[in-house]
């Protein structure tokens, strides 16, 4: 059968529309705000050989999720044990999953008596039990503490949810009624997906659809390979560290050796540290998300995502390492590890394609969760959020101030919404001056968010990083300020916290969470003095810092750059710098 | 306000053209003046166009009863095409960076080079003052007035022209904002002031601040623009008040728009949907999808029970990818905006081959200049219009009624060079492919407003207009199985028609959060009464008597603990505990309709109170023709070969003159119906019926 580019484009649109429609359905009917407003889910169609044909996703952390979960789950359960209208669920990180709150549902689509393809979705449930509300604890030592583990099981049989299994699922979570809404939404999404795929099977015929699906994979692969060919061939390596494993404060090393050759890339993570005793461990799925995300960004962000995208990307991640942990490792911090894998890869690629990368940004997810008893109505409350920070400086422009970074893109909670609901006062939510990594193109500023707990004792958890190792700069750009976590910053005895802690707070306590800035790109002495002037005027960079790091002398009365003094100072500074380095 | 109108004028300023539509309701005569837009001085272009419309039709200016204007001035100003005034912001201590942090998201997470929109006010013009109101409306920290005076002096020294004020929880307790406003006026009477609780007394501080700032920026610009237009109209003797189209699809008096300019941001795009909804109501098609395809974009809008929906999820200056808003790419403005899906696909969209050998159409457009290759203005890229020229659908001798010469050879060679050659096809196959891929893009937009919202196209009509809509609508109908296609009498002017058939209306909102079973009904009564009083005042000042006012109440509600709301209608009258119960039931029902399920036992909460105050304007009547015979033979103007993909070849096709088709005529496909501003394709297996309003109804025999 002949594949023509017109029918191919029409079928591609139709398949993507089907997956997107599943996503819209899921988002609308789910209950968890992670699904609803943070778009922390993905929908996809897989062919009978378990290759992804089309994926609709918003959040980069989901890039490697379904492509790992679906083949693993179906292989484990056995395709021969599936009937029309069945749905397999699964969340086990050690069987192909990411972290426990990400639950997948997979449904086969039959043609006559054979499986033609699968539709699948994965969604972040607000809670899956375990030792802390929200199921992202910061101090676990094995997976069993993090929540309910669901191996591949049939939750749905001929479109009926199996009550006995559902009972088990709900008995293990904190808000069962809401979780029913999430499961129901996942089932409805697959049902919609099956209907749409069947429409297409009828319209184009099974054979033609099959042929065009195959061609879609080849098409994406062609585009990915041609984009990868634009990266100069060679071996590039990068190395970076996590503050600690969550139990000890020993740094955790991540090493990426990247080999680019013949339109393919091999990412060897073997030299990374072994898995740790705490929650700072990744699974193969989360590592794949990080790696494929970086290559999608650097190669060509517009390439449609299917099996063809991953074909030219090879990952070597030894089992038992921090990037591919073995059971029963705790993995609640897998996205913190993922962020660092991204940083490491960018560092490696900066040597190959310096004009396509950014310096290191905040480098963390920054999981903040807390809870207690609300003194207003004595009810139990729990809250979870992540906080943005600086983005890395870029070849042509500054890094953004105060944004989410790499694998995550979660919105903040409005302060008025937060205070209406919880016994809190957010005393400030602002940029941190001088937190940028100086550079010709400076990094973005970090964020400071100060939480005051009113009239009750609360439990406060941080699962974050970059307290010790600052986001680095590139090509002469300097590092940014690290993260900091401080209790009672307004008192005489402020106390600094580590990046992974769970503590008890007294009524009236103030916790200041301060996220890192982004590293600079290029020599700060080459920064346009007028940009430095604007930064100083905007109080993003202090007068003093403008002199020391950028060599720019500013007259703060008339807001002018003193050009002569600047030139002299820059000459002196670059002389001193040159002397040191040579 | 009179109940019967004689002359109506609609004036729509678009990117390329300014359209002025003048209708004589007594005779039914419609005249259209199309002039190139004058971006430097849009008001001048509008006024000159209106004068010309009046002169060419020998209308007496004082006989004009209704004049409505859609303007892009506000949007253009915000996206940087008009110089903006210098604006300062005063806010609560600790919140100076509120408008810079925004929602902390990247508009596109896969693009390392993406940027957030620049902050609406640079940091050095944002001032903090000591004060704090808590979530129960209590004053925790009294306002430090000395700091306010200092901030105002500093802003004055920076020569800002306007100051926006947004403090936390001002929608619950406006005392501090009001006091800051007073101090500004004392210290510096020349400054324009916008207080957030007056512009948008709604919670979520970033969105409220952003809306307030946009309003502040626009105050002077819109005031100046509309002021001079009003004056110009008065000078030529127009007596009636100028009306301005709002984003919501309703209008407001120009003098009101000058005070609340943020409401006219999306003034233009809604007009087509409004026209479609109006005609749909009149001809008994309350449920339909309006589809407006022009040169650079296509817009689709779901119309249910006769009205398009509005949403408050709008971002001005925001980017859209394949019909979906890239969240965080623009500045949020929480005003009601007609909920339509726009995609970059029109007659001018360029076809190209990507690095994987795939055929793509758009999002690049050849624009007005050089335009499609066939225009002969030097464009070398093949566009959708070029493809339709190659396929024989567009008549080179009758484009815009023959005013615009078309060179079919140029179309052919562009398609050949850029698409057919690289793909190893002949140019006809390639042209047909371009049309097909463009249709696939449109289908995405149409799916978003229908199937994705749980609506079955088989129960909906597709109303297609804009220059290119009628050309593709038949194929879209067949692909998505719409019930039928309706093509209005003058597809090219249909959007402007929307300006003539809508009501005046104002939207008001107030946040009052509380569990539905605990909230004090009296608080809601006070809230609604306050909003309705505002509506009454505004409509009265626009010349409405009470009998022509309609107040519509609604509430945004949600399940307790969720962070998104649904709008639920609320009956007029005193709110009681029982009525709150009914609202809760209604919420479950709306939730079920929208999302397919409801948690009937879950507690709910009320979040925002809304009132829409509508001043009912006399509408035009559609004129019905008497029915004639079935045979359209009298309108036959020729035969030419036209390519149909279904047949895989050119088919000798009858060409009909739309102006000679009458009620009752039936045109069997394959056929083409030509008119000055558009071309309708009747596919093989379809028929076109002319209805009593001279509209074309397309239906499939299948």
pLDDT by residue (tens digit) across B246-271? Answer: 999 999 999 999 999 999 998 878 88
- Which of B437, B375, B436 lies closest to B409 in space, CA to CA? B375
Chain A residues 3-32 within an 8 A CB cutoff of chain B: 4-6, 8-10, 12-14, 17, 20-21, 24-25, 28-29, 31
Residue B400: the pLDDT is 80
How many angstroms separate the Cα of B675 from the Cα of each of B2, B660, B697?
Answer: 36, 10, 15
Mean pLDDT on A152-167:
96
| Cβ contact A535:A487 at 8 Å | no
For B594, name the nearest residue in chain A, comparing CA atoms only: A28
Q: What is the pLDDT of residue B3?
A: 62
The pLDDT value given to residue B182: 98
Instruction: For residue A577, name the pLDDT band (cuts at 50, 70, 90).
Output: low
- Please give the structure tokens belonging to residue A368: 């903040």
Query: Within 13 Å of residue B236, how many CA atoms lie on the same side as its CB?
Result: 20
What CA–CA distance (Å, rounded) separates B262 from A545?
40
A402 close contact with B: CB closer than 8 A: yes
Question: Is the CB of residue B659 less than 8 Å away from at least one CB of chain A?
Answer: no
SS3 A213: helix
Tokens of B646: 């279904």
> What whole-number distance in Å separates Cα of residue B218 and Cα of residue B202?
20
Cβ distance B106 to A226 less than 8 Å, yes or no, reads no
Give the CA radius of gyration of chain B: 27
Beta-carbon separation of B123 and A538 below 8 A: yes
B577: Cα within 13 Å, side-chain hemisphere: 2
Cβ count near A229 (within 10 Å): 16
* List of chain A residues whose C-beta atoms are within 8 Å of the C-beta of residue B455: none
Residue A581: the pLDDT is 42
Counts for chain A of helices (H) and strands (E), in that order: 13, 22
Q: Is A248 on the interface with B (CB under 8 A)?
A: no
Mean per-residue pLDDT for A3-12? 87
| Cross-strand pairs, A381 | A372
CB-CB under 8 Å, B108 with A219: no
For range B316-335, the mean pLDDT: 88
pLDDT surpasses 60 at A56: yes
* Confidence check: pLDDT of B513 > 80: yes
CB of B103 within 8 Å of a chain A CB? The answer is yes
d(CA A500, CA A242): 11
pLDDT band with cut points at 50, 70 and 90 for residue B672? very high
Rounded distance between C-alpha atoms, residue B358 and residue B363, angstroms: 14
The span from the CA of B567 to the CA of B587, in Å, is 8
% pLDDT > 90, chain A: 85
Cβ–Cβ under 8 Å, residues B698 and B477: yes
Distance CA B139, CA B170 (A): 10
How far is it, in rounded angstroms, from Cα B254 to Cα B256? 5
**Residue A1 pLDDT grade (very low, low, confident, very high; cuts 50, 70, 90):** low
Rounded Cα distance between A173 and B204, Å, is 30
Q: Is the pLDDT of residue A476 over 70?
A: yes
Task: Lowest mean pLDDT of A212-221, B93-102, B452-461, name the range.
Answer: B452-461
From chain A, the residues in CB contact with B359 under 8 A are: 5-6, 9
Q: How remote is the C-alpha of B499 from its chain's centroid? A: 12
Residue B80 has pLDDT above 80, yes or no: no
pLDDT value, residue A580: 45
Q: What is the pLDDT of residue B465?
A: 96
Q: Which residues contact A72 (CB under 8 A, 6 or more apart)?
A: A90, A95, A96, A152
Out of A437-441, A442-446, B352-356, which region has the weakest mean confidence (pLDDT)?
B352-356
- Helix segments in B331-426, DSSP class H: 384-390, 408-415, 421-423
Residue B148 has pLDDT above 90, yes or no: yes
Please provide the DSSP assignment of B516-555 as one string.
TTTS-HHHHHHHHHHHHHHHHHHHHHTT--GGGEEEEEEE
- pLDDT for res A36: 78
Lowest mean pLDDT across A216-230, B135-149, B200-214, B314-328: B314-328
Q: Are A529 and A565 in contact (CB under 8 A)?
A: no
Nearest residue to B386 via CA among B357, B419, B355: B419
Task: Assign A175 a pLDDT band (cuts: 50, 70, 90).
Answer: confident
**How many CA atoms are closer than 13 Å to the CA of B102, on its beta-carbon side?**
29
Band (A567; pLDDT cuts 50, 70, 90): very high
Contact A444, A402 (CB under 8 A): yes
ipTM score of complex: 0.94
* For residue B670, cis peptide bond before it (omega within 30 degrees of 0): yes
- Residues 6+ positions from B242 with CB-CB distance below 8 Å: B67, B68, B69, B226, B229, B230, B233, B253, B254
Which of B99, B101, B478 to mutate to test binding with chain A, by most A CBs within 10 Å of its CB? B101
Over residues B603-644, the pLDDT tens digits come to 999 999 999 999 998 888 888 889 999 999 999 999 999 999
| Lookup: tokens for B426 | 């002949």
Mean pLDDT of B594-602: 78
Secondary structure class of A501 (helix, strand, coil) = strand
Q: What is the pLDDT of residues B362-392, one digit of tens each?
A: 888 887 778 899 999 999 999 999 999 999 9
Give the mean model confidence (pLDDT) for residues A96-120: 96
| B454 phi-psi bin (left φ>0, alpha ψ -120 to 50, beta other) | left
Indicate the range of A87-96, B46-55, B689-698 predicted with least confidence: B46-55
Taking the C-alpha atoms of residue A539 and residue A518, their distance in angstroms, rounded to an integer, is: 17
Instruction: Tell me the per-residue pLDDT of B218-250, one tens digit each, with 9 for 90 and over.
Output: 999 999 999 999 999 999 999 999 999 999 999
Full strand arrangement of the beta sheet holding B671-675: B636-644, B649-657, B671-675, B678-682
Q: Inter-chain contact B440–A13, Cβ cutoff 8 Å?
A: yes
Query: Has residue A436 got a pLDDT over 80?
Result: yes
Average pLDDT, chain A: 94
pLDDT over 70 at A579, yes or no: no
Q: Of the given ranges (B41-45, B212-216, B483-487, B669-673), which has the lowest mean pLDDT?
A: B41-45
Contact B561/A421, CB-based, under 8 Å?
Answer: yes
The shortest CB-CB distance from A416 to any of B112, B168, B433 is to B168
Q: How far apart are CA A312 and CA A310, in angstroms?
A: 6
* Residue A359 scores a pLDDT above 80: yes
* Whole-structure pTM value: 0.94
Confidence of residue B345 (pLDDT cuts 50, 70, 90): confident
- Coil/strand/helix, residue B256: helix
How much is the pLDDT for B615?
Answer: 94
| Pick from A400, A414, A425: CB nearest B115 | A400
Place of tokens 């916790």: A511
CA A16-A19-A24 angle, to 5 degrees, is: 120
Mean pLDDT of B159-174: 97
Secondary structure (DSSP) of B570-624: E-SS---HHHHHHHHHHHHHHHHHHHS---TTS-EEEEEEEEEEEEPPPPPPPPP
Exposed, middle or buried, B401 (CB in 10 Å: 0-12/13-18/19+)?
exposed
- What is the count of residue pairs from A and B with beta carbons less than 8 Å apart? 188
What tokens does A411 get?
């919105």
Residue range A251-278: average pLDDT? Answer: 97
Looking at chain B, the number of H-run helices and the number of E-run strands are: 17, 37
pLDDT of residue B18: 82
Using pLDDT thresholds of 50, 70 and 90, give the confidence band for residue A169.
very high
**Closest chain B residue to A15 measured between Cα atoms?**
B444
| B197 — pLDDT class (breaks 50, 70, 90) | very high
Q: Which of residues 352-371 of B touch A (CB under 8 A)?
A: 354-360
Query: Rounded to 10 degrees, what is the CA torsion of B153, B155, B156, B157?
Result: 90
Check: CB of residue B166 under 8 Å from CB of residue B209. Answer: yes
For residue A578, what pLDDT is reported? 55
Q: Which two structure tokens, joined as six digits, stand for B632?
A: 């359209």
pLDDT at position B2 is 57
Query: Could you give the CA distance from residue B289 to residue B485 in angstroms, rounded to a whole number?
Result: 10
Question: Mean pLDDT lowest for which of A101-115, B47-61, B136-150, B461-475?
Answer: B47-61
Any CB–CB contact under 8 A between B426 and chain A?
no
Does B558 lie at the interface with A, CB-CB under 8 angstroms? Answer: no
Contact present, B32 and B19 (Cβ < 8 Å): yes
Confidence of residue A570 (pLDDT cuts 50, 70, 90): very high
Asked if A391 and A399 count as a contact pair (C-beta separation under 8 A), the reply is: yes
Q: Which of B86, B112, B454 to mutate to test the interface with A (most CBs of A within 10 A)?
A: B112
**Among the ranges given (A6-10, A230-234, A294-298, A352-356), the one the predictor scored with the smallest mean pLDDT:** A6-10
Express each pLDDT in A494-528 by its tens digit: 999 999 988 999 999 999 999 999 999 999 999 99
Which residues of B, range 560-599, sit inside 8 Å of A by Cβ?
Answer: 561-564, 594-597, 599
Query: Is A422 an interface residue toward B (CB < 8 Å)?
Result: no
């Amino acid at each position: 059968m002949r594949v023509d580019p017109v029918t191919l484009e029409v079928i591609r649109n139709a398949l993507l529309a089907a997956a997107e429609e599943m996503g819209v359905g899921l988002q609308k009917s789910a209950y968890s705000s992670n699904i609803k407003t943070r778009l922390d889910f993905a929908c996809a169609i897989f062919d009978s050989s378990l290759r992804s044909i089309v994926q609709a996703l918003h959040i980069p952390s989901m890039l490697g999720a379904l492509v790992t979960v679906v083949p693993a789950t179906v292989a484990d359960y056995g395709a021969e044990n599936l009937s029309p209208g069945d749905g397999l669920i699964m969340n086990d990180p050690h069987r192909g999953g990411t972290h426990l709150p990400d639950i997948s549902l997979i449904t086969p689509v039959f043609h006559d008596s054979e499986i033609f393809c699968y539709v699948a979705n994965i969604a972040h449930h607000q809670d899956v039990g375990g030792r802390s509300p929200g199921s992202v604890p910061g101090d676990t030592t094995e997976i069993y503490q993090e929540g309910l583990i669901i191996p591949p099981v049939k939750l749905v049989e001929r479109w009926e949810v199996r009550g006995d299994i559902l009972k088990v699922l709900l008995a293990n979570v904190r808000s069962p009624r809401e979780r029913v809404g999430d499961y129901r939404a996942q089932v409805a999404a697959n049902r919609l997906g099956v209907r749409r795929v069947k429409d297409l099977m009828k319209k184009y015929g099974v054979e033609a659809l099959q042929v065009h699906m195959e061609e879609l994979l080849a098409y994406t692969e062609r585009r990915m390979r041609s984009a990868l060919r634009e990266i100069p061939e060679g071996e590039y390596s990068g190395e970076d560290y996590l503050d600690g494993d969550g139990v000890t404060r020993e740094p955790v090393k991540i090493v990426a050796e990247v080999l680019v050759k013949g339109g393919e890339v091999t990412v060897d993570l073997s030299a990374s540290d072994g898995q740790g005793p705490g929650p700072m461990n990744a699974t193969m799925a989360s590592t794949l998300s990080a790696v494929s995300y970086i290559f999608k960004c650097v190669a060509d962000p517009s390439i449609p995502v299917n099996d063809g995208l991953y074909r030219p990307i090879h990952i070597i991640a030894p089992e038992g390492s921090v990037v591919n942990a073995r059971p029963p490792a705790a993995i609640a911090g897998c996205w913190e590890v993922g962020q660092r894998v991204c940083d490491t890869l960018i560092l490696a690629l900066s040597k190959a394609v310096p004009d396509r990368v950014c310096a290191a940004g905040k480098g963390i997810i920054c999981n903040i969760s807390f809870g207690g008893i609300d003194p207003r109505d004595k009810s139990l409350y729990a809250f979870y959020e992540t906080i943005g920070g600086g983005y890395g400086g870029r070849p042509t422009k500054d890094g953004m101030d105060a944004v989410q970074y790499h694998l995550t893109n979660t919105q903040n909670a409005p302060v008025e919404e937060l205070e209406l609901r919880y016994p809190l006062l957010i005393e400030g939510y602002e940029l941190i001056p001088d937190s940028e990594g100086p550079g010709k193109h400076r990094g973005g500023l970090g964020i400071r968010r100060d939480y005051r707990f009113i009239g009750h004792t609360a439990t406060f958890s941080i699962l974050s990083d970059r307290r010790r190792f600052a986001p680095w700069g590139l090509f002469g750009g300097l590092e940014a300020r690290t993260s900091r976590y401080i209790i009672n910053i307004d008192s005489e005895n402020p106390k600094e916290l580590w990046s992974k802690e769970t503590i008890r707070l007294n009524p009236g306590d103030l916790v200041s969470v301060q996220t890192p800035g982004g590293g600079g790109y290029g020599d700060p002495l080459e920064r346009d003095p007028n940009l430095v002037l604007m930064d100083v005027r905007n109080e993003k960079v202090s007068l003093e810092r403008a002199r020391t790091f950028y060599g720019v002398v500013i007259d703060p009365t008339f807001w002018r750059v003193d050009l002569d003094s600047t030139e002299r100072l820059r000459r002196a500074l670059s002389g001193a710098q040159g002397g040191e380095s040579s | 306000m009179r109940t019967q109108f004689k002359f109506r004028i609609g004036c729509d300023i678009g990117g390329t053209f300014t359209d002025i539509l003048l209708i004589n309701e007594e005779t039914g005569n419609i005249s259209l003046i199309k002039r190139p837009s004058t971006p430097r001085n849009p008001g001048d272009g509008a006024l000159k166009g209106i004068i010309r419309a009046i002169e060419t039709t020998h209308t007496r200016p004082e006989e004009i009863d209704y004049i409505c204007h859609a303007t892009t001035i506000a949007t253009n100003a915000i996206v940087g095409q008009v110089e903006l005034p210098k604006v300062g912001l005063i806010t609560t201590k600790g919140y100076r960076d509120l408008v810079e942090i925004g929602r902390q998201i990247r508009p596109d997470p896969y693009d390392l080079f993406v940027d957030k929109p620049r902050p609406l006010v640079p940091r050095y013009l944002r001032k903090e003052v000591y004060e704090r109101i808590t979530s129960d409306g209590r004053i925790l920290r009294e306002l430090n007035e000395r700091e306010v005076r200092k901030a105002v002096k500093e802003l004055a020294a920076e020569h800002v022209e306007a100051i926006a004020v947004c403090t936390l929880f001002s929608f619950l307790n406006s005392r501090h904002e009001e006091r800051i406003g007073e101090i500004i006026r004392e210290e510096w009477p020349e400054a324009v002031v916008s207080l957030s609780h007056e512009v948008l007394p709604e919670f979520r501080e970033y969105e409220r601040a952003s809306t307030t700032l946009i309003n502040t920026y626009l105050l002077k610009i819109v005031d100046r623009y509309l002021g001079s237009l009003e004056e110009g109209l008065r000078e030529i003797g127009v007596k009636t008040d100028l009306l301005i189209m709002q984003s919501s699809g309703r209008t407001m008096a120009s003098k009101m728009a000058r005070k609340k300019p943020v409401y006219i941001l999306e003034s233009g795009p809604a007009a087509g949907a409004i026209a479609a909804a109006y005609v749909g109501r009149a001809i008994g098609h309350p449920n339909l999808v309006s589809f407006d395809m022009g040169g650079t974009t296509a817009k689709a809008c779901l119309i249910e029970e006769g009205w398009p929906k509005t949403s408050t999820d709008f971002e001005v200056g925001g980017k859209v990818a394949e019909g979906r808003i890239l969240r965080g790419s623009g500045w949020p403005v929480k005003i009601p905006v007609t909920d339509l899906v726009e995609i970059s696909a029109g007659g001018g969209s360029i076809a190209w081959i990507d690095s994987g050998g795939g055929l793509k159409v758009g999002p690049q457009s050849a624009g007005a200049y050089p335009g499609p290759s066939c225009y002969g203005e030097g464009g070398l890229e093949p566009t959708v219009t070029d493809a339709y020229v190659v396929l024989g659908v567009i008549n080179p001798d009758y484009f815009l009624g023959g005013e615009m010469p078309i060179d079919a050879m140029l179309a052919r060679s562009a398609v050949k060079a850029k698409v057919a050659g690289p793909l190893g096809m002949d140019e006809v196959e390639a042209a047909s492919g371009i049309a097909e891929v463009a249709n696939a893009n449109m289908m995405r937009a149409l799916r978003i407003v229908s199937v994705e919202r749980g609506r079955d196209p088989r129960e909906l009509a597709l109303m297609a207009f804009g220059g290119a809509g009628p050309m593709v609508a038949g194929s879209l109908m067949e692909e998505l199985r719409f019930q039928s296609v309706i093509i209005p009498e003058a597809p090219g002017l249909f959007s402007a028609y929307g300006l003539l058939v809508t009501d005046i209306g104002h939207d008001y909102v107030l946040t009052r959060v509380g569990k539905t079973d605990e909230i004090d009904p009296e608080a809601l009564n006070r809230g609604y009464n306050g909003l309705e009083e505002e509506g009454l005042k505004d409509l009265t000042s626009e010349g409405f008597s009470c009998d022509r006012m309609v107040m519509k109440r609604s509430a945004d509600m949600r399940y307790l603990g969720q962070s998104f709301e649904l709008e639920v209608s609320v009956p007029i009258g005193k709110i009681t505990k029982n009525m709150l119960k009914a609202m809760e039931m209604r919420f479950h029902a709306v939730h079920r309709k929208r999302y397919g399920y409801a948690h009937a036992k879950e507690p709910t909460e009320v979040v925002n109170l809304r009132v829409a105050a509508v001043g009912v304007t006399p509408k035009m009547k559609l004129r019905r023709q008497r029915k004639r015979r079935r045979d359209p033979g009298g309108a036959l103007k020729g035969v030419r070969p036209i390519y149909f993909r279904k047949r895989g070849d050119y088919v000798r096709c009858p060409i009909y003159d739309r102006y000679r088709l009458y009620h009752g005529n039936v045109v069997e496909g394959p056929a083409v119906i030509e008119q000055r501003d558009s071309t309708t394709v009747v596919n093989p297996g379809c028929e076109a019926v002319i209805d009593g309003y001279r509209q074309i109804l397309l239906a499939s025999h299948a």
